Amino acid sequence: MINKKLITLAVASMALLAGCGKLEKGTSHVDPSESDSGKVDTTGRIDRQSYQAVLVDGKYKPNAVRGLTASVLSSPYNASNLENGLVELSKDSYPVDNYLFQEGQILKREDIIAMLTQHSEEAPNGLNPGEGPIIFEQVLEQDFWDKKKERLAGISLGIALNSETKTDGETKNIDDETIVNEGKRIAQGVLERLRSYKGMEKIPVTIGLFKQAKASDIAGGDYFAKATSEKGDKLGEWSDISEEYVALIPGTEDDSIASKDGLVNKYGDFKNSVDDFFPNNSGMSAVACYRDDELQKLTIKIETKYFGETELFNFTQFVGKTAQSVFNLPAELEIQINTLEGTKGTITKALNSDEFNAHAFD
């Protein structure tokens, strides 16, 4: 059980929670009144910007084919952006107040494997080019239920496309024109496969095209286009998506949006303050997410050696106070304090909120 303790900071009030157990995702600050009282059980939701998730027989049902990829070119950074970006992209088609979320349950494992294969006489359902690089790396499905009708009412698909290929140990870039053209062709093929399932003929389907970053890029890839099929095999017009993930590196000069709006400098000030307070940190990294040139989320990870309970509590408090002072921004903020044993502390702030919440875990 998590014991709560409120601490007043000099800059502003911030709730600091310390306890003997890790906080499970989705169990903190959930408003039970947000859950439906009908036949469909839901998780409730943490905030007004998040989906409630569907529970099956009282349990969360994961995607059985999560992480199925065509090669080894993906990365945890790409995987995170693919999943989180698809949730954000879906909100335009399936508003959070009207729809419930469920991880993909429709596409079958054998069909995904077949589609990720290179096309040939032996693999006629393969959507990767028969010759040349592996472009189609992964497909991610997310399902959306109509709250009132309590049934599946929409599907989103994220199509992950490689931006580089490795042949005989040599890495080569795939040009953007090829990624776009192949992505649209692959999306059409995935749609046709989905429509072949019974009952899927008239379910709206939104498809996003995702360009993977290099595996070593901690910023990860981003979505660049989307289209919707209301019914049948035809996709609507493709529209551009303005999404960008930027790794913040203080002291470097570049033309990134994070440099232009001053976020890199703010992060540099924050990093210097934290390093001065606790010099035993083994590293710190930050990634900013922009949509339509507006900062949406800033994620900071602090890697440190193991330290005692009191030290952890004070360090988490200091990090939270410093974040309040430096990051006076409307964007969502997440700061993780990690050791080799896992996450030991977090500081979070919701989008368009002034309230910072800190959690220290024993």
pLDDT at 14 over 60: no
How far is the C-alpha of 141 from the C-alpha of 50, rounded, in Å? 18
pLDDT in tens, 200-217: 999 999 999 999 999 889
Q: How far is CA 8 from CA 5, 155, 231, 315, 340, in A?
A: 10, 44, 54, 15, 30
For the chain, percent of residues with pLDDT exceeding 70:
88
Q: Higher-confidence residue: 362 or 273?
A: 273
pLDDT of residue 308: 78
Give me the mean pLDDT over the 117-141 stretch: 93
Topology of 37-241 in CATH? sex pheromone staph- cam373 precursor fold (3.10.570)
pLDDT band at 337 (very low <50, low <70, confident <90, very high): very high
pLDDT of residue 12: 40
For the chain, counts of helices (H) and of strands (E): 6, 19
Closest C-alpha to 229, from 206, 196, 199: 206
Q: Higher-confidence residue: 239 or 315?
A: 239
Domain edges within the chain: 4-25+246-361, 37-241
Instruction: Report the predicted TM-score, pTM, of the whole model to 2 decimal places.
Output: 0.83
What pairing do the DSSP bridges indicate for beta strands 342-349 and 356-361? antiparallel
pLDDT at 41 over 60: yes
| Spatial CB neighbours of 156, under 8 Å, sequence gap ≥ 6 | 86, 89, 90, 93, 94, 141, 142, 143, 144, 205, 206, 207, 208
**Which CATH code fits 4-25+246-361?**
3.10.570.10
